[in-house]
Amino acid sequence: MRVLTVSVAIVISAAVMLDAQRRHPVSGRVFAPVMGVAGAGWLERAERESEEAPSKAIAALELKPGMAVADVGAGSGYYTSRMAKLVGTTGRVYATDIQPGMIDLLNRRVASEGLTNVTTVLGGVDDPKLPPQSIDLAIMVDVYHELQQPQVFLQRLKASFKPGGRLVLVEFRKEDPTVPILEVHKMSVAEVKQELEAEGYRLDRVIDVLPWQHIIVLRVK
């Protein structure tokens, strides 16, 4: 088992020190720094399936052809690509990121895999910039804890959901000290519930089928 590759650890460690005093006003949680483009290789590592079981996470979403979903903080498009195949040509995946370098990686992946149902979106730190009432589901994989303005972001994300839409957070379990990830990159279910219910979301269920992470499903109240 591995915590992070050396390159990713170096990228984030300096940012952790810079942002160490920034805390969520509701839970008191320290905001984690955003992983830069230099860490994209870690998202594509060969061990990811054995360590995180993303195939199980995607299966838990119960995606159907024709659905519209958003991969918020999509990074290199690991989840985007897999979800695009499940929603099919009648569906749509909005792959968002705040870093132009990640959008470049996403666009190259979309082109190389011939994905015709993916729209890449350069979002903002306080706004996902998704079309109103456009999505059935939004997923953030190890992303929510890196939001630097989570309260504003969540309020703006609300407008993107169709009636009955779901927000899914995949986060490393803070409750489990054996999960080999830096503490600032973990979240507990209690923190998620506290922070998101304060913004008008309702905790629907927690799906714990992954080795290291929670799958936390929320709905707009």
Q: Read off the pLDDT of residues 60-93 as tens digits, 9 standing for 90 and up.
A: 999 999 999 999 999 999 999 999 999 999 999 9
Question: Which has the minimum average pLDDT: 13-22, 179-188, 200-209?
Answer: 13-22
pTM for the model: 0.91
| Confidence grade of residue 6 (pLDDT, cut at 50, 70, 90) | very low
What is the three-class DSSP state of 3?
coil
CATH fold of the domain at 6-220:
Rossmann fold (3.40.50)
pLDDT at 23: 95
pLDDT bucket at 12, cuts 50 / 70 / 90 = very low
End-to-end Cα, the chain, rounded Å: 39
128-156: pLDDT as tens digits: 999 999 999 999 999 999 999 999 999 99
Per DSSP, the three-state class of 166 is strand
